[in-house]
Amino acid sequence: MAEPPLPDVLLALDAEYADILGMLDRSAAVSRMVATVPALAGVNMAWVGEPDGADRIVLGKSVNTPNGLVEGLVVPVGVGLGGKVLAARRPVWVSDYLTSPDITHHFRSLASIEGMHAMIAVPIVHDGRLLGVLYGANFCETEFGDRTARALEQVAARTAAAEVVAERARHAAEVAVHEERRRVALELHDTVGAMLFTLGAGLRRLGEEPGLDRAVRDRLCAIEQQAMEATAALRGSLRVLSAPPEQVALGVALREHSTAFQERTGTPARMITLTELPALPGARIAALADAAREALLNVEKHAAAQSVVVTVFAVRGGVAVSVCDDGRGLGSDRLSGLGLPATMERLARVGGTLSIGPNDDAGVTLQAWVPA
């Protein structure tokens, strides 16, 4: 027998529940918002640009674009329509992207292949902070008016709200983890640490008793030494456990880039820390994190990979980050882009190196290294 239909109130609750869950996952929230653009703003296609560093966005989450060519495209400030929105922080539109004299034309051939003519973009802003750029486009020339801009801005406002909620939820979870680690560290310090101290002090007093057999005194001395070593080991562990966020900055940055990559592309990216890492100055952490970011962008643009693994480990008196994909490999083309030379230069400035080559999965492995 067929199941009886759910009462309307349950259906409504179900939809609301899905909405709330979607709100807690930033990427899912943004995708849902972009998907509403064609219907709400009356345009054929839509996509979003998400910040990647301070001066550029990466495009993605496209709906209805014939070939999805905007996916993974990097748009610097000032370039194209989105770059103009980034700089001006207000809606910008053109009736025909392919012929408009007001827009730089870095992406014209791509727009032409996708059959994009009219294009509109609005900033996604929260509290004066730019969270992204929302785009709409039509297959034909169109004179967009304030109405379309307002509709798109409304979706942008909702997207901003959803992003902020999701970000807060994630941040709260991260802070909670850190606080819990600190709490455990303090508790261990107060219990195990105090017990070891008492033990050591007792052993010392005992060892100082007059008239002790030499062998017994030596034995007591050895045990006291062990207690001191245990105290030192405990201190080290407590330092790691309660490490302030700066000391985990590289791990946090790499995890963020991996997660952003996975969210943008849907391709799984794992981050693995293979060894304990020495402390690094901020400039070297930034150079390594930037190298990983460029490598992941290259995987997104060039590799067509099924999966990516980012590993970080101490080696040769420094720290290496390797980004390993199982994509189509480097091919026979000479490496002629701009991204890798810029990354290499940045690493060289802090005494580091970059290497790139084939791996066992027929894909590409990039490895960046900096001295500790």
Ligand X SMILES: Nc1ncnc2c1ncn2[C@@H]1O[C@H](COP(=O)(O)OP(=O)(O)O)[C@@H](O)[C@H]1O
Give the interface with Mg ion as residue ranges (CB under 5 A): 298, 339
Shortest separation between residue 298's beta carbon and ligand X, angstroms: 3
> Is the CB of 103 or the CB of 299 nearer to ligand X?
299
> Is the CB of 222 or the CB of 335 nearer to ligand X?
335
SS3 69: coil
199 to 188, 205, 208: CA distances (angstroms):
15, 10, 14
> Is the CB of 262 or the CB of 298 nearer to Mg ion?
298
- What string of DSSP letters covers 289-336? HHHHHHHHHHIIIII--S-EEEEEEEETTEEEEEEEE-SS---SS---
Q: Which does residue 333 touch among Mg ion, ligand X, none (CB within 5 to 8 A, set by kind)? A: ligand X
Q: Which does residue 245 touch among Mg ion, ligand X, none (CB within 5 to 8 A, set by kind)? A: none
- Cα(240)–Cα(176) distance, integer angstroms: 17
Shortest separation between residue 362's beta carbon and ligand X, angstroms: 10
> Is the CB of 224 or the CB of 290 nearer to ligand X?
290
Shortest separation between residue 335's beta carbon and ligand X, angstroms: 4
Q: Which does residue 300 touch among ligand X, Mg ion, none (CB within 5 to 8 A, set by kind)? A: none
End-to-end CA distance of the chain: 69
Q: Which does residue 299 touch among Mg ion, ligand X, none (CB within 5 to 8 A, set by kind)? A: ligand X
| CB contact at 8 A, 200 and 231 | yes
- Cα(284)–Cα(288) distance, integer angstroms: 6
Q: Which does residue 335 touch among Mg ion, ligand X, none (CB within 5 to 8 A, set by kind)? A: ligand X
- Cα(27)–Cα(15) distance, integer angstroms: 18
For the record, the structure tokens of 103 come out as 């827009």
Q: Which does residue 303 touch among ligand X, Mg ion, none (CB within 5 to 8 A, set by kind)? A: ligand X
> Is the CB of 44 or the CB of 298 nearer to ligand X?
298
Name the CA radius of gyration of the chain, rounded: 28
Shortest separation between residue 365's beta carbon and ligand X, angstroms: 9
SS3 256: helix
- 119: enclosing H helix or E strand: strand 119-126
Q: Which residues bind ligand X (CB under 6 A)?
A: 298-299, 301-303, 325, 327, 330, 333, 335, 337-340, 364
For the record, the structure tokens of 163 come out as 């992003």
- Cα(324)–Cα(310) distance, integer angstroms: 6
Shortest separation between residue 50's beta carbon and ligand X, angstroms: 18
Q: Which does residue 27 touch among Mg ion, ligand X, none (CB within 5 to 8 A, set by kind)? A: none
- Cα(297)–Cα(58) distance, integer angstroms: 9
Shortest-Cβ-distance residue relative to ligand X: 337
> Is the CB of 66 or the CB of 337 nearer to ligand X?
337
| CB contact at 8 A, 311 and 321 | yes
SS3 43: coil
Shortest separation between residue 296's beta carbon and ligand X, angstroms: 9
> Is the CB of 33 or the CB of 324 nearer to ligand X?
324
> Is the CB of 28 or the CB of 110 nearer to Mg ion?
110
Shortest separation between residue 176's beta carbon and Mg ion, angstroms: 36
Shortest-Cβ-distance residue relative to Mg ion: 339
Shortest separation between residue 295's beta carbon and ligand X, angstroms: 7
